[in-house]
Amino acid sequence: MHNRILIADNSAKRGWETNPICSLRGDQPESTICLILRCAFAKEIKELEEHTKSCKDS
């Protein structure tokens, strides 16, 4: 990812003031790993995207 996703942990590394807690879940620090692997909201978006792709292929 090369720290290109502009989320709380990357913003803090750049010295920007930010709330470190995930704005979608509100229960843990926001990070790239959280967003890609753990975030239920992101998983739902990915599932919708896959469903949309399968509908287009039909």
List pLDDT tens digits, range 2-45: 555 667 667 767 787 777 787 777 788 777 777 777 778 888 88
Domain hosting residue 21, numbered range: 8-57
Position 1 in a domain? no
The count of domains in the chain is 1
Q: Looking at residue 58, what is its pLDDT?
A: 62
Cα–chain center distance at 56: 25
The Cα–Cα gap between 3 and 32 comes to 8
Q: Tell me the two tokens of residue 11.
A: 């913003």
Three-state secondary structure call for residue 29 = strand
Is residue 14 a part of any domain in this protein?
A: yes
pLDDT reported for residue 1:
47
Longest dimension (CA), the chain: 48
Is 3 within a domain?
no
